[in-house]
Amino acid sequence: MISIQYKEIGRFTIPCITELMLFSMISVVNLIMVGRLGPQAISAVGLTSQPINISLAVFQSFNIGATALIARYVGAKNYIKAKSVIIQTLQISILMGVTLTIPVFVFARQIVLFMGANKDSIEGATIYMKFMAIGILFQIIPLAISSLFRGAGDSKNPMIINIVANLINVILGYLLIFGNLGFPRLGILGAGIAATSAKVVQTVIAIILLFVTKLDIRLDQNISLGFDKKIIGKIINIGSASAAEQIILRVGFFLYTKTIANLGTIAFAAHQVCLNISNLSTNFGHALGMASTSFTGRLLGAKEKKLTIEYIVKLILIGLGISGIISLFFLFKGQAIASFYTDDTDVIELLVPVIIILAIINPAQNSLLVLSGALKGAGETRWPLLTSLIGLIFIRLPLVYLFIKVFNLGLYGAWIATVIEKYISLIILRFAFRKGKWRDREII
């Protein structure tokens, strides 16, 4: 008989998994559509991802602090304070969104050139980057609202927010990239318009849901605006280590991506497809990580420390079971997966061995997501920071340089370095979890 804990985990994670899987499938469709424009188009889109992620790094850390805080207040049934967290988060999101959009838009061309764009992808990457810059504000707001809902224990509203927006993205992409059903054929420009339009719709839906949700954190017309220094201070206190972690991650991935971009358009196109496959394969881990953050924050808020451990252990076991199935699929169906993404034989030849490497990475990655989510839900963000610093900066990047520049392993060397980094990071984070000090951290 399935325990109550597993049922509660299922109720929370199934909407998360549905949301993430659909998002990834739509990303696959978008990549396939862009891929039909050629490797240059894939590279153009790929070159924009890391700069945009870097620009969002500080905001994402603020988001982690807000999520941990609202989870604690909901667990303690202090809904007035929980609503205050929502208002402060929205105000900061708007301010940061405007601040980030302007420089990314103005310096779009310089950014893609710095990323190592080749002559055949500079123009397309610049166009796409400008649309991504416009979309930053409309990406930040729904991301914040979705995180707040999950912190409060609701994963269904975030699912609605993201599913609707991503369906709009793929429909507009189909119409505008290729000029179907009488629409103009805009190529990479059409992909940018589709993505940005979807983000605008996503923002509108997210804000509406805050006022109509049945949760006790529902907002009304009598909300009081203005900055609350105490709430903001608590969010920053929790999120400051995550800010450093995110900057390290984004700068590290930026350097990682730049190194791979220098391998050429074909290798970088193959890398982008591998990243897409990797993101798809870790969706279950991300969903379990979201559950880990929410359950940890709410249970600690309710003073249920022993129950918190029980939930986290179950989440890890579920993640390992799912990882085993996915890894076996990668091992035996690598050629079919690669051919599904592209018909370019050079790209496929590079892809198949990397998909096998992904099968090795997946179990460690999913376990990392659950453990990191638990620590962040408790407000303990220092250990994830240390793990990212050691893993990415002191392990992966030096190994990437060694494997590519010294041993001439090319794209394979970059992904082998990732395997080593993930398992060492898992050892570090597991040590922090077993110490148990995160259970006693007071954040409210």
Each residue of 127-148: pLDDT tens digit? Answer: 888 888 888 889 899 989 999 9
pLDDT at 340: 85
CA distances from 201 to 65, 162, 191, 345 (A): 26, 10, 16, 38
CA distance 349 to 418: 20
Three-state SS string over the chain comes to CCCHHHHHHHHHHHHHHHHHHHHHHHHHHHHHHHHCCCHHHHHHHHHHHHHHHHHCHHHHHHHHHHHHHHHHHHHCCCHHHHHHHHHHHHHHHHHHHHHHHHHHHHCHHHHHHHCCCCCCCHHHHHHHHHHHHHCHHHHHHHHHHHHHHHHCCCCHHHHHHHHHHHHHHHHHHHHHHHCHHHCCCCCHHHHHHHHHHHHHHHHHHHHHHHHHCCCCCCCCCCCCCCCCHHHHHHHHHHHHHHHHHHHHHHHHHHHHHHHHHCCCHHHHHHHHHHHHHHHHHCHHHHHHHHHHHHHHHHHHHCCCHHHHHHHHHHHHHHHHHHHHHHHHHHHHHHHHHHHHHCCCHHHHHHHHHHHHHHHHHHHHHHHHHHHHHHHHHCCCCHHHHHHHHHHHHHHHHHHHHHHHHHCCCHHHHHHHHHHHHHHHHHHHHHHHHHHCHHHHCCCC
pLDDT at 59: 76
Q: Residues of the chain with pLDDT > 70: what percent? A: 94
CA distance 374 to 123: 43
pLDDT at 1: 47
Mean pLDDT of 251-258: 86
Amino acid at 263: L
pLDDT digits (tens, 9 = 90+) for 209-233: 999 998 899 998 777 788 888 999 9
pLDDT at 402 over 80: yes
pLDDT at 90 over 50: yes
pLDDT at 417: 97
CA distance 441 to 444: 10
Mean pLDDT of 235-258: 85
Do residues 155 and 17 lie in contact, with contact meaning Cβ atoms separated by under 8 Å?
Answer: no
pLDDT at 328: 95
pLDDT at 440: 87
pLDDT at 179 over 70: yes
pLDDT at 26: 65
Tokens representing 249? 């991650």
Q: Which of 56-60, 152-156, 162-166 has the lowest mean pLDDT?
A: 56-60
pLDDT at 330 over 70: yes
Domain definitions of the chain by residue range: 4-440
Do residues 374 and 234 lie in contact, with contact meaning Cβ atoms separated by under 8 Å?
Answer: no
pLDDT at 377: 93
Enumerate residues 6+ apart whose C-beta is below 8 A from 320.
363, 366, 367
pLDDT at 119 over 80: no
**pLDDT class of 3 with cuts at 50, 70, 90:** confident
pLDDT digits (tens, 9 = 90+) for 32-41: 777 677 776 7
pLDDT at 170: 85
- The torsion of the CA quartet 154, 160, 166, 168, rounded to 10 degrees, works out to -160
CA distance 100 to 407: 39
For tokens 């993201």, name the residue: 162
pLDDT at 281 over 60: yes
Residues in the chain: 444
Mean pLDDT of 306-326: 94
Mean pLDDT of 407-415: 94
Q: Is the pTM of this model over 0.85?
A: no
CA distances from 140 to 78, 210, 415 (A): 26, 15, 30
Could you report how far apart the first and last alpha carbons of the chain are, in Å? Answer: 37
Average pLDDT, the chain: 88
